Chains A and B, each alone.
Chain A
């Protein structure tokens, strides 16, 4: 099989599976699980090619350069695909157990989830501002109905708000794309940087609009307001996908565009501004996470905070910062997936997720709490974990560039994260109250408990296998090189 078939399959197989599920009309979780398994294998099969050649290009339709639709897998795209594929497997196994008896919800989940997966894959592989717009929209349109699976009427407000922000973000992004197209006459990421005239007002405006649009989608402070309710309210499997992948995809896009086509347009001041937004997100998000009374909201606000770390690349813009930001994306994805799945298990067992009433829950939920604890280690950025590797890289970048204010932000962020993670973990160690309240829920089946734990363990393992992954990623040079 030629390697350039792989990217094409990564996009079309999930869509096909989603379509099949829709036609079948009754939930087929097996199909979904086969799909995510195949998806993972396809991504793994991509690794040798990308490692050898730097990138694999698939040219759809065979048109020549200005019209061509490329799918291109380079190191950055591959790492994101890998993260997505791993999470997809864990989440699908979890979802299979979680929705076993709910026919209606299961049907909707197994239809939408493959579509979302395919859209994410397409987003990571796209090399064209307009295709990226389309895939961003697809991601949003598949994600929002998933939020509604929480139950009748529960998350309608959250989903509507999510929809509103997402559409606003898309519109602004599209306006920026139009401006750039008027200037450069191409939308291809590889050609754009050279085609853009130097420092025109329209060019700068276009770049700003694109960036703002993405910031809204990535829920970066101050555009985070839609996130906690949507991520906190959705069912656990959906929350995991949204927090670990969907917002991450937008943050990924910002990294990709900034270091590629937008490179001639961006200024150091803009980088500092984005960094400042990131730092604010870290501090504010962590503080909010610490103050929440419900477990899933703690985890959701933690996402607001953690996304901020990825923005610290922009002011520093050196290789270590690039590696740190991307690695943080990976580590956070795995850890956050584990946190949401574990939180879902706790919710299932207790029938609620109010922190006050959670004392002494350790025994029946030991595995889920283990997952929460291990994922927490990565979220706090303590070694050995992917989160620590990322923090270390970002710290060295801040020392290298002499921008000490990010050093302080990073250290402070770690302490704040410890505050909210341990606030939850301590509940497991507190003595149960005298009269143990009636706990209606069931003990989560092993599949649900272990899928969370596997993700958490992967987040830890990420701290030990960073050398080959970072080599795969390379340095922050233009998109297709």
Chain B
């Protein structure tokens, strides 16, 4: 029993991996069975993750080690940081699956879609529970491969172009990452992730090599995390169906990159070593540039999903920024944003999908007066947008507040300026939308009357929206993401 319990990361992984296999094997012929299996797997995963959450909180060890090659093990290990990512993915997988079932109703190749969708989530689980860089890379690549079919799902020339861009960016990034991992392996052997890092003893003998490897690792992961200047794939990938965008931006791909950066900084190098090498400042600057640049680009986008995509570019870098400030408060702000941004961004993309699917609206200028026709959807959009701007007491505010406190505590006052500028820019690109949807009259007078999105679309949207709201409102409670992150950071900073 204890062995089975210890191997929980594997079961969580398999719950989506097997689902993917079954779904792909079933093919198009049994839609009901397929949907049933898909939802059952998502629910099962949620239960498993719940059990793990309790376990990790109680200090149980979840570890699975399988030797792969001489000197190299496949390690699955669940710690507090893993659970942060896993819980988010498991919760949003369920929501996104329900949404996608409604969204893709009657479109072709659904089995293929849901199969790869599940595979994608399985890869995310692997990334979250990877116990060393090698294992991390394994699942990181699996994510790349399983996401591509989703990006090109529509099969149009435009989708294919986006898919090609996605592949070039991510495979190129992976090659850089692999190089970093191999070099580190040559330098220090195979090391498990350990809080505080494992490389401190090398700092005197190989400072340059460590710096170079750090840049390779962060550079490789930065591609998925959409750090400028390697963010280009993300805005083009928004041609994919809305649930895919939600997945890319909130649950899987972008987050995997950001999560990887956190792992490298915390559990491979350690915060102290990163500061000693002078890399913390560099990472903070890179993140800040991306924050400002993404927001600036977002302002000029006329397509709703494109604007949201650039907003992601900007917002995800909060995570890297929080880590780079190397101080407990800022770390809390950065890490909690992993969850907060996920919840808010998925709400926004769900809403964008609702607009597109229900009324065929893609451009921002066509949103005039949509609040009267789709009040619930628009209310959720408003919640998400205000949260992104950082209006208290919404989730985004919590993140920014801690980031700001951390910046002050670290004596990096310029970061406060970056945060303020970003907030202003967020307002500049979100508030006009809110004005349009609520206060402008509809362009076409005939289209009056209530016309909400289908329940299958609206349900998950409401769920995500309220979850984002709750994450902010109840941040002080015991089981909130914030409380969890505080626990986690406490463990990282008290060796």
A422 touches B167 (CB 8 A): yes
B186 touches A431 (CB 8 A): no
Does residue A429 face the partner (Cβ distance < 8 Å to B)? Answer: yes
- CA–CA, A195 to B231, complex, Å? 62
Which residue of B69, B72, B179 is within 8 Å of A407 (Cβ)? B179
- CA–CA, A411 to B176, complex, Å? 8
Q: Across the interface, which residues of A come within 8 angstroms of B24, CB to CB? A: 370
B160 touches A470 (CB 8 A): no
Chain B 362-406 interface 0/1 with A at a Cβ cutoff of 8 Å (1 = within): 000000000000000000000000000000000000000000000
Interface of chain B residues 69 through 126 with chain A (CB within 8 A): 69-70, 72, 109, 112
Q: Shortest Cβ distance from A311 into chain B, in angstroms?
A: 20
Q: Across the interface, which residues of B come within 8 angstroms of A396, CB to CB? A: 182, 185-186
- CA–CA, A426 to B153, complex, Å? 10
- CA–CA, A392 to B68, complex, Å? 12
Pick out which of these stretches binds chain B: A91-99, A113-121, A229-237, A376-384. Answer: A376-384
Q: Across the interface, which residues of A come within 8 angstroms of B148, CB to CB? A: 422
Interface of chain A residues 96 through 113 with chain B (CB within 8 A): none
- CA–CA, A370 to B24, complex, Å? 10
Known: A382-B145, A383-B141. A467 touches B68 (CB 8 A): yes
Known: A396-B185, A399-B182, A407-B179. A426 touches B152 (CB 8 A): yes
Does residue A270 face the partner (Cβ distance < 8 Å to B)? Answer: no
Does residue B178 face the partner (Cβ distance < 8 Å to A)? Answer: yes
Does residue B156 face the partner (Cβ distance < 8 Å to A)? Answer: yes
Does residue A188 face the partner (Cβ distance < 8 Å to B)? Answer: no
B145 touches A464 (CB 8 A): no
Q: Shortest Cβ distance from B171 into chain A, in angstroms?
A: 5
| Residue of B69, B142, B148, B171 with most partner-chain A CB within 10 A | B69
Q: Shortest Cβ distance from B256 into chain A, in angstroms?
A: 15
Does residue B456 face the partner (Cβ distance < 8 Å to A)? Answer: no
Interface of chain A residues 62 through 103 with chain B (CB within 8 A): none
A470 touches B69 (CB 8 A): yes
Taking chain B's interface residues, is the majority helix, strand, or loop, or is none over half, making it mixed?
Answer: helix
Does residue B455 face the partner (Cβ distance < 8 Å to A)? Answer: no
- CA–CA, A411 to B144, complex, Å? 16
Q: Across the interface, which residues of A come within 8 angstroms of B144, CB to CB? A: 382
Does residue B31 face the partner (Cβ distance < 8 Å to A)? Answer: no
- CA–CA, A414 to B156, complex, Å? 27
B145 touches A377 (CB 8 A): yes
Does residue B296 face the partner (Cβ distance < 8 Å to A)? Answer: no
- CA–CA, A399 to B178, complex, Å? 12
Q: Across the interface, which residues of A come within 8 angstroms of B172, CB to CB? A: 415
Which residue of A393, A400, A422 is within 8 Å of B69 (Cβ)? A393
B109 touches A362 (CB 8 A): yes
Q: Across the interface, which residues of B come within 8 angstroms of A414, CB to CB? A: 171, 175
Q: Shortest Cβ distance from B253 into chain A, in angstroms?
A: 16
A392 touches B182 (CB 8 A): yes
Known: A360-B155, A415-B172. A467 touches B70 (CB 8 A): yes
Interface of chain A residues 431 through 475 with chain B (CB within 8 A): 431, 464, 466-467, 470-471
Interface of chain B residues 146 through 177 with chain A (CB within 8 A): 148-149, 152-156, 160, 163-164, 167, 171-172, 174-175
Known: A395-B182, A466-B69. A383 touches B137 (CB 8 A): yes
Interface of chain A residues 398 through 414 with chain B (CB within 8 A): 399-400, 407, 411-412, 414
Closest to B24 in A: A370
Does residue B138 face the partner (Cβ distance < 8 Å to A)? Answer: yes
Q: Shortest Cβ distance from A400 into chain B, in angstroms?
A: 6
Known: A422-B167, A429-B153. A411 touches B179 (CB 8 A): yes
Chain A 104-148 interface 0/1 with B at a Cβ cutoff of 8 Å (1 = within): 000000000000000000000000000000000000000000000
Which residue of B109, B153, B185 is within 8 Å of A399 (Cβ)? B185
Q: Across the interface, which residues of B come within 8 angstroms of A388, CB to CB? A: 141
Known: A382-B141, A382-B145. A411 touches B175 (CB 8 A): yes
Closest to B159 in A: A429
A466 touches B178 (CB 8 A): no
Known: A383-B142, A395-B182, A415-B175. A466 touches B155 (CB 8 A): no
Q: Shortest Cβ distance from A384 into chain B, in angstroms?
A: 6
- CA–CA, A166 to B378, complex, Å? 72
Q: Across the interface, which residues of A come within 8 angstroms of B428, CB to CB? A: none
Does residue B59 face the partner (Cβ distance < 8 Å to A)? Answer: no
Does residue B67 face the partner (Cβ distance < 8 Å to A)? Answer: yes
Does residue B27 face the partner (Cβ distance < 8 Å to A)? Answer: yes
Q: Shortest Cβ distance from A289 into chain B, in angstroms?
A: 16
Which residue of A360, A429, A470 is within 8 Å of B70 (Cβ)? A470
Q: Across the interface, which residues of A come within 8 angstroms of B137, CB to CB? A: 383
7 A-B contacts, Cβ less than 8 Å apart? A362-B109, A414-B175, A415-B171, A415-B172, A429-B160, A430-B155, A467-B68
Closest 10 CB pairs of A and B: A399-B186, A431-B155, A383-B138, A411-B175, A395-B182, A429-B152, A382-B141, A467-B67, A466-B69, A383-B141
